[in-house]
Amino acid sequence: MSDKGGTPADDFPHGAGNPARSALRAAGYTRLAQLTTVTATEVLALHGVGPKAIRALREALAAEGLAFAGE
C-alpha cells in the first residue's frame, strides 16, 4: 500500500469547498487548528475562499472548541 494520496492533505471540512481547501493548502495551512492563528478576514482574502467557506470553517473550528484569531 502506497502512502501517495493515501492520507488526507488536510483536515478541513468538505463543506468549505475544494477551491477554498486548495487555497488554504497553498497558503501553508493543512490543519484546522492552524487557523486559530489568523483572522477570518485574512482567510477570506485568499483567492478561492468565500463567505460559505468561512462559515464552514468557523463551524468546524467551534466543534473543536476553537475559533479564528480574535473571535
- What is the total count of domains within the chain? 1
Cβ(38)–Cβ(68) below 8 Å: yes
Is residue 8 one of the residues assigned to a domain? Answer: no
Is residue 5 one of the residues assigned to a domain? Answer: no
Is residue 67 one of the residues assigned to a domain? Answer: no
Is residue 32 one of the residues assigned to a domain? Answer: yes
Is residue 22 one of the residues assigned to a domain? Answer: yes
Is residue 20 one of the residues assigned to a domain? Answer: yes
Global pTM reads 0.87
User: Domain residues for 19?
Assistant: 13-62
Is residue 3 one of the residues assigned to a domain? Answer: no
pLDDT by position in tens, the chain (length 71): 344 555 567 899 999 999 999 999 999 999 999 999 999 999 999 999 999 999 999 999 999 999 999 99
